[in-house]
Homo-oligomer: A and B are copies of this chain.
């Protein structure tokens, strides 16, 4: 069926939407693909829905190809299974909760681990029923604190989530590998540049975990790569512990007055002026910076937390958030200092933290035997030669420092480079967390009950619309890869006269008959308007029926390269078919 722009529910906008932060958002709104309804909540207009459905179909085909079976869970769910796994609480404010007319607690599903686990528990009783992979393509809900960038991070979004069920780790590894291969096929077909990185398991619990990130400067995730093939989301990077040092020659710790030195730079300058080192200058890396946070647990309890790290590094809040999840970070305020008399703001040291009874996590570089210049727990004073393990306890480490270009890869595969990406997929060895919590066991070959081992695999389907748009758009508008374009070709009737209109109509009919998905711009509008709209819409191929028709010619334009070629009208259908690979 030909879609005629004269009757198509579409209005392109000449202005950028006020709230558009990233190009994909700007163009998807301007080109009439999506419309905002509420923060993080969007409607799909006909063009956007076509792209969404095409991506869904690609995902469905590849899931079916690995033998995963499609099911569909409700989005509105009873609370009990989520209470059983603690996620009712752990999700905190991110969960949309409601109460029904009979006062039952309900929620809008953010993910469906519990439901899949219970469904398999209901239906499977024997190892003969496994391995099993189930999936759904479904609308999910998260009450994001900061929905952003249109459908890139929404509060209502479409996901494909699948789960594998196996008897043991070897089975899980095989299921995981199958999903990984299917994801590679899916993202290859979607046509954007992506990278597979090690991922933090976050709130999900469990073990092996990888993310598929669309490489994009506007992505929310930062990842690192090494020349030797290491790749990880910064949340998942675990710098190894530094080698312990020999501190036998380090003199006893010594307190110095350091007036007016609340910052690392000021401290280093003062140290060099007031108590210079014999061997070299003091540098920021010699200092031990102690940063305080409040940690709110899902149950509402709040406790202080200190991070100690070399003064030339900052705490990466994303990495720290991932490390403490499901607890959430809150600032450590003036009023909190008042609760701990042993802490001197700006001059916090390990001794003051210990006296305050605050949990103290150290950077992997702070290991026994290393000596530090740090706060002396008295305003205007610092201490030097404070040796870890000698002068203060080294109990817990955490790696939440901001990573830097050139940091060594944890696996020794060379210096890291940093880039940003959009999380498009996540594959994850859940293990037995949900099976344990919900009692999913089946009989093994010996007739014994065994807990089932699960994998979890997600793809952001609606996010993929934005990610593909983001990866492919240019300064003129959207520019879809053929696999997901809402139409294969747009036929433009540019110029006046019945012949042009009739030829455009006939070519559209012939292309449609050849199985091509055609958008025909039959509006009474200027060629300029039509060209501009066709560029904004981003249909890969245009067939222009205009002035050249006087010479028996039409023009085929490629949206991506901008290249045009003139072909005889009699060859137009064949040429378009060749162009679009039919």
- The answer to whether the Cβ of A578 comes within 8 Å of any Cβ in the partner chain is no
Residues facing B in A68-101 (CB within 8 A) are 69-78, 93-94, 96-98, 100-101
Min distance, Cβ A168 to any Cβ of chain B, angstroms: 18
Q: Name A108's contact: one of B41, B44, B76 (CB within 8 Å).
A: B76
A98 and B101 contact, CB distance less than 8 A: no
Closest to A7 in B: B67
Which residues on B sit within 8 Å (CB–CB) of A108? 76, 98
A106 and B72 contact, CB distance less than 8 A: no
B44 and A119 contact, CB distance less than 8 A: no
A104 and B46 contact, CB distance less than 8 A: no
Q: Name A141's contact: one of B39, B67, B70, B76 (CB within 8 Å).
A: B76
A37 and B74 contact, CB distance less than 8 A: yes
Q: In the bound complex, how far is the Cα of B178 from the Cα of A546, in angstroms?
A: 36
Given contacts A139-B139, A145-B101, contact A119 B43 (CB under 8 A): yes
A75 and B38 contact, CB distance less than 8 A: no
Residues facing B in A465-515 (CB within 8 A) are none
Closest to A124 in B: B11
Q: In the bound complex, how far is the Cα of B6 from the Cα of A69, in angstroms?
A: 13
Min distance, Cβ A112 to any Cβ of chain B, angstroms: 10
B72 and A49 contact, CB distance less than 8 A: yes
Given contacts A9-B132, A35-B119, A145-B101, contact A46 B70 (CB under 8 A): yes
Each complex incorporates copies of this chain amounting to 2
A 398-425 binary contact with B (CB < 8 Å = 1; else 0): 0000000000000000000000000000
A9 and B123 contact, CB distance less than 8 A: yes
Min distance, Cβ A134 to any Cβ of chain B, angstroms: 6
Q: In the bound complex, how far is the Cα of B101 from the Cα of A93, in angstroms?
A: 6
Q: In the bound complex, how far is the Cα of B62 from the Cα of A1, in angstroms?
A: 12
A38 and B98 contact, CB distance less than 8 A: no
Closest to A41 in B: B74
Q: In the bound complex, how far is the Cα of B32 from the Cα of A256, in angstroms?
A: 77
A143 and B101 contact, CB distance less than 8 A: yes
Residues facing B in A178-227 (CB within 8 A) are none
- The answer to whether the Cβ of A42 comes within 8 Å of any Cβ in the partner chain is yes
Q: Name A96's contact: one of B8, B42, B43, B100 (CB within 8 Å).
A: B100
Which residues on B sit within 8 Å (CB–CB) of A522? none
Closest to A76 in B: B156
Q: In the bound complex, how far is the Cα of B76 from the Cα of A42, in angstroms?
A: 10
Which residues on B sit within 8 Å (CB–CB) of A115? 37, 43
B74 and A134 contact, CB distance less than 8 A: no
A96 and B76 contact, CB distance less than 8 A: yes
- The answer to whether the Cβ of A64 comes within 8 Å of any Cβ in the partner chain is yes
- The answer to whether the Cβ of A45 comes within 8 Å of any Cβ in the partner chain is yes
A64 and B96 contact, CB distance less than 8 A: no
Q: Which of A41, A49, A64, A94 has the most CB of B within 10 A?
A: A41
- The answer to whether the Cβ of A571 comes within 8 Å of any Cβ in the partner chain is no
Which residues on B sit within 8 Å (CB–CB) of A49? 70-72
Q: Name A139's contact: one of B37, B75, B123, B124 (CB within 8 Å).
A: B75
A69 and B46 contact, CB distance less than 8 A: yes
B141 and A37 contact, CB distance less than 8 A: no
Min distance, Cβ A384 to any Cβ of chain B, angstroms: 47
- The answer to whether the Cβ of A122 comes within 8 Å of any Cβ in the partner chain is yes
- The answer to whether the Cβ of A463 comes within 8 Å of any Cβ in the partner chain is no
Which residues on B sit within 8 Å (CB–CB) of A7? 67
- The answer to whether the Cβ of A26 comes within 8 Å of any Cβ in the partner chain is no
- The answer to whether the Cβ of A155 comes within 8 Å of any Cβ in the partner chain is yes
Which residues on B sit within 8 Å (CB–CB) of A37? 73-74, 77-78, 115
Min distance, Cβ A508 to any Cβ of chain B, angstroms: 16
Which residues on B sit within 8 Å (CB–CB) of A141? 76
A156 and B38 contact, CB distance less than 8 A: no
Closest to A158 in B: B72
- 14 further A-B contacts with Cβ under 8 Å, apart from A74-B156, A100-B143, are A9-B69, A9-B134, A32-B123, A37-B73, A38-B77, A38-B106, A43-B119, A44-B72, A45-B71, A45-B123, A49-B70, A49-B71, A96-B98, A98-B98
Closest 10 CB pairs of A and B: A98-B98, A44-B72, A38-B78, A93-B101, A11-B123, A41-B74, A9-B69, A46-B69, A101-B143, A74-B156
Q: List 6 A-B contacts (CB under 8 A).
A: A1-B64, A9-B71, A35-B122, A44-B72, A49-B71, A75-B156
